Structure 1
C-alpha cells in the first residue's frame, strides 16, 4: 500500500482578505530608502531597457540603475531648484526645467548642456519629450504652455489660454499634435498644434467658489480618455464625447500630488499628501490596493516592465520597491523574442502576436525540431511520481523528531506545521517527537507555541502541546536561562489571553442583554 501524504488542513482566512490583485501588489517588497537633502519632486522611468529612472530633488537630477539602486549619473548644472527631469526613450538626452524658468537639454553621457530655452519668466514645473523625440513640452507658472523644436532650438508653438500656474501637462502618444494640460485656474485644457489653439476645456477643479487647482493630468495611450486630480478628487474625462466627466473619485484624505500608469495602462497609481498610494483598476476605477509610506508623497512612478515602484517624499526620502517577475513572465518575453527571430510567418502562425495591441499571457510552446504527430498514432502519457516532501519522508520512516524539526523552519507556513503536529497526535507520536531535546532543540518549539498561542486556528493544539512539553521538561527547569525565560513569557502570554477572554465574555453578556431588551421593546 502506497504511503498517504500529509493532508494540510485549510483554515478560514483571518484578517484582510487576500486576492490575486492584492498578492501581486504585495509582491513589491523589500523597499530601499535613499535619503536626499531636498524633497523628491519628480520620478520618471526610461521607456527603454534597462529602464533607468530619473529622480529630481533640489538642484540635482540623478539617474539610478534599477538593478543596484545606485546613482548612475548626476546632473547639477542648475542655478535654482530643478523640476521634472526626464530621460528620452533612447537614453541619450535629458531635459529638465528649473525655478528660474529656463529649460535645459543635457547629453546623458557627458552631462554637457546641449540646448537652453529661456523664454519662460517664472518657474517651469513640467518638461517632457514629445513622442516624436524632436520636440519638448514645457509648462510654466507664467501661465504659458510651449513646444520647443530641439534641432533648431526654436519655439514651435505657444499657448496662452490658461490664466494661472500650469503645473501639469502631457503630449498624446497616439497623436503628438494634441497636448493635455492642467492649471491652477481649475481647468484641464486640450491644445492642438494644427490649429494653434485650445480645442477643449474641462472644469477639472469642480465648479463654484470651492473649485480646486488641477495638480496632475494623465492621458490614456489611446487618446480617448484622460484623468486629472484636484485636491483629493480624481476625475476621469471622456474626450470622445467632448470632455465629459464620467467619474469623480474621492479615496484620498489630502491632495493628490502624482499620477502614473502601470506598464500596460491597466492600472492607475495615485500618490498624495496623506502618505498613501492608491492603485485603481481602469475597468471600473475601484481601488484594488493601497500602499502606505512614512511621509507625504510628491511623486510616484512604476517601471514599464512592472518590476519597480519608486516614490518620492516631502522629507527627501526616495523609496524603491522591487518585484521579481515570475519565470512564466520571463519565458513569455523569451518566446516573443524567439518568434521574432524566426521570421514573420512563424510569429503570426504561432499566435504569439494575438490581437493588435494585446499580448497572449501564456502562449503555447513547442520544443524545437519536434516532429508533428502522425494521424492515428497513439501516445501513452507517462505519469511522473511526485516527490515526497521532506516531512513526508520522515513520517514514512517513523522519524517523528526529524519530521517535527523539518516544519519548525521560518519558511514553513504554520498550517503545515500544525497539520503535521495533528498527524503526530493521531499516531500517538508527540512524546516521541519531543523527547531527548536539549535547550537548542527545544527553543523553536516553545517559540512556536508563543507565536500562535492567541491564534484561534491553532490555540487548542498549542495548549495540548504546551501541556506535554511542560510535563516532559518541568524537571529540568532552572538549567537553561533561555528556556526559563521562554517558559515565563509563555505563562504571561497565557495569563493575558485568559484575561482578554474573560473581558470578551463580559462584553458578549452585555450585548446579549442589550439586544434582548431591544427585541422586547420592538414587540411592545
Structure 2
C-alpha cells in the first residue's frame, strides 16, 4: 500500500475577503487620473468613433481629451455663459452644446469654428445631443419647459414639445427609433414623445402615480435601453424602471444611494448599469436582476458619468476622475467581431451568445483534439507521481521529531503545522516528536502554541499539545530563562483568553434575556 500524504485541513474564510468575478472585472479600471477644473464638471461624453476622444464640459468651455494620454487636444471656449452638455457626434467630427443664455451652438471639433447657431430657447439649455440614428438631428431640453428637435443643415426647429410644466434637465433620443424622445422634468414626470405625431405618447411618474410609480421628486436623469423597450429614471435617491411595452408601467423602484442620483450610464454591452450620486458613490447593477454587483467610492459628489474603455466621472468640486481598463488584444478583437455581427443583424451571434458577459471573463470553446499517429497505434498513458513534501518524507520513515521540526519554520502556514500535529496524534507519535528537546528545539514549539492559542481554528489542539509539553518538561523548568519566559507568556495569554470568553458568556446571557423579553412582549 502506497504512503498517503498528510491531508492539510482547509478552514473557511470570511466571504467579505473574497472578490467575485464582477468585482475583479471592475477593479481592473485602475490607476485613476484626477484632473482639476475651475468649476463643477457637469458633462462628460465619449465619442462613439475611434479614437474615442471625450468632451468635458465645465464652466464656460468644453475641453476635448485624448483617451490615451488624458491630455487636452482641443479647447472650445466660445460661450458667453456657463456651457452645458457638450456632446460629440457619432462620426467624431462635430460637437454640440448649450449654455445658460439659451443658445445652442454646433462646432467643428478640429477647427473649433461655429458652424450653426440655434437661438430660440430663452432660458438655460441643459441638454443638447445629437440623435444616434440621424446625424443631422439635435435634441435640446431647456429650463423654459420645452423640448425641441432641430434640423442642423437648415438651422430650423422641426418639432416642439410643451407638455412639461417645470425645468427639463434630462432627455434622450431613442437609439432604436429616431422619432422617439424620452425626457424627464422637475415637474416629477417622465414623458415619451413621438416626433411623427408631435404628441406625448406616454406619461410616467408624477405625484398622482401615473404608470404605477408615484413620484414627487424632480427627475434628474433618464436613460433608455438600446432595445427601446425599457426606460430608467432617477428622482432623488430612487432609481425607477419603466416598461414601455406595457404602457409605461413601473416595474421596479430601487434605493441604493443615500442622496440624489445625478448620473446614469450603460457599459459597452448594456448588460451593466452604472449610477452616480451626491453621496460620492457609483453603483454597478446587473440589469438582469438589478442587484448591485460592485460599488466605487469617489472623493466628491458626482454630477456626471460616462463609460467606455474608461470610466469618467465629473464631480461637484471640479475634479474629473478617469479610470482606465486595458483590454487584452484577443478580447478586443473578439468583442469587435461579435459587435459587428450583432449590428449586421446576424442571428447566430445572439443564438450562440458570443457577446461578452461583463465580470465573467471570456469562455473558451472546447475543441476535441485530433488523434496523432497511426490509427492502430497504442499509446500508453504515463502518470507522474506526486513528489512528497519534506514532512511527508520524514513521516514515511517514522522520523517524527524531524517531521515536526520541518513545519515549525516561519514560512510554513499554521494549517500545515497543525495538520501534521493531528497526524502525529493519530499515529500516537506526538510524545515521541516532543521528547528529548533542549531549549533551542523547544522554543519554536512554544512560540507556535503561544501565537495560536487564541485562534478558534486551533485553540483546542493548542491546549492539548500545551498540556503534554508541560507534563513532559515540568521537571526541568527553571533551568532555562528563555523557556521560563515563554511559559509565563503562554500562561498570560491563556488567562487573557479566559477573561475574554467569560465576557462573551455574560454578553450572550444579557442578549438572551433581552430577546426573551422582546418575544414575551410580542406574544402579549
Q: Indicate whether the TM-score tops 0.5.
A: yes
Q: Which residue of 1 aligns with 2:39?
A: 38
Shift of 1:166: 0.8
Shift of 1:83: 1.0
How many residues of Structure 1 are paired with residues of Structure 2 in the alignment? Answer: 473
Distance 2:8 2:190 in 1: 59
Report 1:248-267 matches (<5 A).
Answer: 248-267=253-272
SS in 1 for 2:141: strand
Shift of 1:324: 4.7
Shift of 1:197: 2.7
Report 1:198-237 matches (<5 A).
Answer: 198-204=200-206, 207=209, 211-237=216-242
Q: Which residue of 2 aligns with 1:411?
A: none
Distance 2:464 2:162 in 1: 77
Q: Is the 1:39–1:58 Cα contact (8 Å) retained in structure 2? A: yes
SS in 2 for 1:508: helix
Match of 1:155 among 141, 157, 169: 157
Shift of 1:263: 1.8
Distance 2:355 2:155 in 1: 39
Bigger Cα displacement from structure 2, 513-522 vs 149-158: 513-522
Alpha-carbon RMSD across the aligned residues, in angstroms, is 5.1
Distance 1:500 1:104 in 2: 71
Q: Is the 2:206–2:215 Cα contact (8 Å) retained in structure 1? A: no
Distance 1:105 1:461 in 2: 76
Q: Which residue of 1 aligns with 2:398?
A: none
Match of 2:148 among 143, 146, 149: 146
Q: Which residue of 2 aligns with 1:172?
A: 174
Report 1:303-342 matches (<5 A).
Answer: 303=308, 307-325=309-327, 330-335=329-334
Report 1:100-499 matches (<5 A).
Answer: 100-131=101-132, 132-204=134-206, 207=209, 211-303=216-308, 307-325=309-327, 330-335=329-334, 353-355=349-351, 359=355, 362=363, 364=365, 417-420=413-416, 422=418
Q: Is the 1:224–1:238 Cα contact (8 Å) retained in structure 2? A: yes
Q: Which residue of 2 aligns with 1:51?
A: 52
Return 5+ residue gaps in structure 1 as ranges: 408-416, 437-444, 476-487
Distance 2:463 2:40 in 1: 52
Change (3 A) 1:339 1:263: closer
TM-score when scaled to structure 1? 0.71
Distance 1:285 1:320 in 2: 25
Q: Is the 2:126–2:169 Cα contact (8 Å) retained in structure 1? A: yes
Q: Is the 1:96–1:127 Cα contact (8 Å) retained in structure 2? A: yes
Rg bigger for which structure? Answer: 2
Distance 2:125 2:66 in 1: 27
Shift of 1:422: 4.6
Bigger Cα displacement from structure 2, 216-225 vs 63-72: 63-72
Cα deviation code 1:55-98 (max 9, x no counterpart): 22222322333344343433222222111112222222222211
SS in 1 for 2:163: coil
Q: Which residue of 2 aligns with 1:97?
A: 98
Distance 1:222 1:352 in 2: 18
Distance 1:172 1:522 in 2: 53
Bigger Cα displacement from structure 2, 94-103 vs 106-115: 106-115
Cα deviation code 1:391-414 (max 9, x no counterpart): x9888999999996778xxxxxxx
Distance 2:282 2:254 in 1: 14
Cα deviation code 1:355-383 (max 9, x no counterpart): 3996275363779xx98999978896978
SS in 2 for 1:353: helix
Shift of 1:240: 1.5
